[in-house]
Amino acid sequence: MALLAGCASTDKSLYDELGGQATVAKIVDNFIHEIEYDQVMFAYFAESDIDRFRSKLNEHLCFLADGPCAYTGDTMAQVHAGMNISEGDFNHGVDLFIAAMDKANVPHPLQNRLLAKMVPTRQDIIYL
Partner 1 sequence: MRILQKRTLQRALGTAVLAVSMMGQAWAADGKLIATAGLTQVEGSGGGGIVPWATISGYDSRDQISAGATVTRVDVSDFRLSMLGASLSLYDKVELSIAQQRFEIKGAGVDIKQNIVGLKYRLYGDVVYDTWPQVSVGLQHKKLEDGDVAGAVGAKNNSSGTDFYVAATKVHLGAIAGYNAVWNLTARATKANEMGILGFGGVENNDYQVMLEASAGILFSRHLAVGLEYRQKPDNLGLGEDDWMDYFISYIPSKDFNLTLAWAKLGTIAGAPGQDGLYLSLNGQLW
In a 13 Å sphere around the CA of 120, the CA atoms on its Cβ side amount to 5
9 contacts: CB under 8 Å, gap ≥ 6: 17
Residue 47's CB is within 10 A of a number of other CB atoms, namely 6
- x/- contact string, 102-121, with partner 1 (CB under 8 A)? -----xxxx-xx-xx--xx-
**What is the C-alpha to C-alpha distance for residues 54 and 77, in angstroms, rounded to an integer?**
18
Contact letters (x/-) for ligand HEM, 74-93, by CB under 6 A? x----xx----x---xx--x
Binding flag, residue 88, partner 1 (CB under 8 A): yes
User: According to the binding rule CB under 8 A, does residue 50 interact with partner 1?
Assistant: yes
Task: Point out which residues bind ligand HEM (CB under 6 A).
Answer: 41, 44-45, 48-49, 52-53, 56-57, 60, 73-74, 79-80, 85, 89-90, 93, 118, 121, 125
